[in-house]
Amino acid sequence: MARINQKAMERGIIGSHLRFVEKSGVPMALLCLAPALPELSDERVESLVMILQEQTDFAPLMLCDEGTLLTFIKDMQLHRCVQMVKNLQEMLKKELDVGIAYGALTMIDKQDDYDALIARLRRYLSRAEAIGNGKICYGTAKYDFCTEGGEEEIFANFFDEYDAITLYNFYNGMPLSEEVKVLSYQNGVLRIKTSLARAAFLKSEPFTFLKHPLLPDTIKADIVNAVPNRAEVVLTNLRFIDKSPVDRENIRVTPDERIEVSIECANGEELIGTVHSLAVNSVAVKLEDENLAKLCFEEENRHVVLSFDLPEREKRKTHIRISALLRAKKDGQLIFSIYPNHFFKQKIESYIALQQTRLITIMQKMVLNFYQG
């Protein structure tokens, strides 16, 4: 029996995905990764493949001649694809101690054919290999985010073609998003049209975030000027950032009043702190003396019980008592994952909604104060 040609198999699999994108319009990316270790045991290879399959929703996975792995990411725009790959890199390093030496990712365009797509992928792969250190080069048929011209060229090309982008800011940890109109971009200065309320709010903000499905990362920009009566904002120093609060899955709020929290340690110790920020799945606690944490978290024991009184409407409070796991210590805070039952989860969600309602009232007052002088 004649053996099936591996190259023909690869062309057929990639060709079927090209046809799918052309007919359906569903976003699809082609991803190629080079594992960093020179040798992998069969067991680690199996684990590597399992993680890749699970994280890509069991998309086809091919082993190429040069030892790279080729797969697909379906139904995600470029930004989400890039975030997923970064998370995948962290997961492989944490769970298997396997790094990615370099990689490439490109969105499949409706106009692509096999040769154009593979040529673009190989171009990105070559650049990423030259850079090394886990570099992932990525782009689309129109935008090369590994370009020699850097971010300035990317922004100039992007804002020349697209006249709308989503603006993000945070107040006490709560996200405020709004689609804004791009008025102009020239010499690194971006002018946008926003709402009166947002322009008034941004007068006292030092920076903002911008996001678009066809951009690979969130943009952070400094606010030079905000003119509420014209609802215009001027931004400069635009730059891509790897991680931002914009990409959080859950809303995190900073209480506008002191919430004391008790930390019941497994060894019987009890610490007292304050809630710095809160989400349905995590809480950040500020201790007056960081050294006290050593009394609680000995060796590998990171499980505790947190207790605090959560404010409600009409000055009522609900006593919250939940199990928690210490995830990190950062900027003088203890970051916990929390596991509330259905009742406590509803109470936390209600508190976040209450904070959002208060935020709307605050922004309305800001606009009123602006027009009253």
**Rounded Cα distance, 82 and 343, in Å:** 36
125 and 195 share a domain? no
**Rounded Cα distance, 61 and 30, in Å:** 11
Cβ of 73: how many Cβ atoms within 10 Å?
A: 24
Provide the pLDDT confidence category of residue 150 given band limits of 50, 70 and 90. low
- As for how many domains the chain has, the answer is 3
230 and 279 share a domain? no
123 and 23 share a domain? yes
pLDDT at residue 145, as a whole number: 81
Q: Domain of 157?
A: 150-246
Statement: residue 2 has pLDDT above 80: no
**Rounded Cα distance, 33 and 77, in Å:** 19
Statement: residue 365 has pLDDT above 80: no
237 and 344 share a domain? no
Statement: residue 101 has pLDDT above 60: yes
* Residue of 217, 288, 284 lying closest to 246 (CA atoms): 217
Statement: residue 364 has pLDDT above 60: yes
pLDDT at residue 22, as a whole number: 92
Six-digit token string for 99: 């790094």
**Rounded Cα distance, 77 and 82, in Å:** 9
Lowest mean pLDDT among 12-21, 170-179, 221-230, 234-243: 170-179
Q: What is the pLDDT of residues 31-60, one digit of tens each?
A: 999 998 767 788 888 999 999 999 999 999
144 within some domain: no
301 within some domain: yes
Rounded to an integer, the average pLDDT of 187-203 is 89
129 and 33 share a domain? yes
361 within some domain: no
At 259, phi and psi to the nearest 5?
-120, 110
Q: What is the pLDDT of residues 69-94, one digit of tens each?
A: 999 999 888 878 888 898 899 889 88
Find where tokens 């692509």 sit: 112
pLDDT at residue 72, as a whole number: 96
234 and 351 share a domain? no
Lowest mean pLDDT among 8-12, 100-104, 297-301: 297-301
* Residue of 299, 306, 298, 297 lying closest to 272 (CA atoms): 306
Statement: residue 24 has pLDDT above 60: yes
362 within some domain: no
Which pairing describes strands 303-311 and 260-265: parallel, antiparallel, or unpaired?
Answer: antiparallel
Q: Which of 139, 164, 192 is the last residue of a domain?
A: 139
Statement: residue 357 has pLDDT above 90: no
CATH number for position 217: 2.30.110
CA dihedral 232, 237, 238, 240 (to 10 degrees): -150
Statement: residue 248 has pLDDT above 80: no
**Rounded Cα distance, 213 and 208, in Å:** 17
Instruction: Please work out, in degrees rounded to the nearest 5, the angle formed at the alpha carbon of residue 124 by the alpha carbons of 118 and 125.
Output: 85
Exposed, middle or buried, 106 (CB in 10 Å: 0-12/13-18/19+)? buried
Distance, CA of 119 to chain centre: 29
Q: Considering the chain, what is the average pLDDT of its residues?
A: 86
pLDDT at residue 256, as a whole number: 83
366 within some domain: no
Q: What is the pLDDT of residues 266-321, one digit of tens each?
A: 778 888 999 999 988 899 999 877 777 777 776 556 788 999 999 988 788 999 99
* Residue of 27, 49, 31 lying closest to 40 (CA atoms): 49
235 within some domain: yes
18 and 73 share a domain? yes
Statement: residue 177 has pLDDT above 60: yes
Q: Summarize the chain as % helix, strand, coil (round to 5).
A: 35, 35, 30
Contacts of 294 (CB under 8 A, 6+ apart): none
pLDDT at residue 299, as a whole number: 59
pLDDT at residue 366, as a whole number: 67
17 and 125 share a domain? yes
Which pairing describes strands 100-107 and 218-227: parallel, antiparallel, or unpaired?
Answer: unpaired
pLDDT at residue 259, as a whole number: 94
269 and 185 share a domain? no
If you write DSSP's letter for every residue of 322-344 in order, what string do you get?
EEEEEEEEETTEEEEEE---HHH
Q: Which of 120, 139, 158 is the last residue of a domain?
A: 139
133 and 40 share a domain? yes
303 within some domain: yes
CATH number for position 266: 2.40.10.220
Rounded to an integer, the average pLDDT of 135-144 is 86
279 and 322 share a domain? yes
Six-digit token string for 3: 């053996």
Rounded to an integer, the average pLDDT of 120-133 is 91
228 within some domain: yes
Q: Which of 211, 246, 281 is the last residue of a domain?
A: 246
CATH number for position 129: 3.30.70.270
214 and 171 share a domain? yes
